[in-house]
Amino acid sequence: MYGNLAHDTYAQNNIGIESPSKLIEMLYEGVLRFNAQAKKAIKDENIEKKVYWVNRSIAIVTELSSTLDLSQGNVASYLQGLYAYQTQLLNAAIQENNIEKLDEVSNVFKGLLEGWREITNVA
């Protein structure tokens, strides 16, 4: 459910994307943007917006996980576990109004984004 939503949203908004690597970068950036919005909503005590923005992040993480090719080795398996844990943290952030858990997820995705940019700029 979440996976197709994330992909469809980005595909509709970015018809001119030239490469799958750019899509991954945009998905990572999306998690960061949505988490920032969720953090603001928690601070503003806006439950509806908090749930909306965290669910958007969950949709992206689900999409990223669903597109992993586990036959490609250890990195894909590692990412699958990492994405599952990030989803758990996002769900806990909703339930507990926990900004620290959002920050933890954002820090992971900042690292993933930085690493992804390094890999795709070299290739």
Mean pLDDT, the chain, rounded, equals 90
Q: pLDDT per residue over 107-119, tens digit each?
A: 999 999 999 999 9
CA dist., res. 56 & res. 70, Å (int): 24
CATH number of the domain residue 109 falls in:
1.20.120.340
Instruction: Print the domain residue range for 81.
Output: 2-122
Q: What is the pTM of this model?
A: 0.83
Closest CA to 32 of 97, 90, 80, 95: 90
Q: How many domains is the chain partitioned into structurally?
A: 1
Q: pLDDT per residue over 48-59, tens digit each?
A: 999 999 999 999
For the residues 77-87, what does the mean pLDDT come to?
Answer: 97
Long-range contacts, stretch 100-109, CB < 8 angstroms, 24+ apart: 102/35, 102/38, 102/39, 102/42, 102/54, 103/35, 103/39, 105/31, 105/35, 105/57, 106/31, 106/32, 106/35, 106/36, 108/82, 109/28, 109/31, 109/32, 109/35
Q: Tally DSSP H helices, then E strands, for the chain.
A: 5, 0
Is residue 21's pLDDT more than 90? Answer: no
Is residue 73's pLDDT more than 90? Answer: no
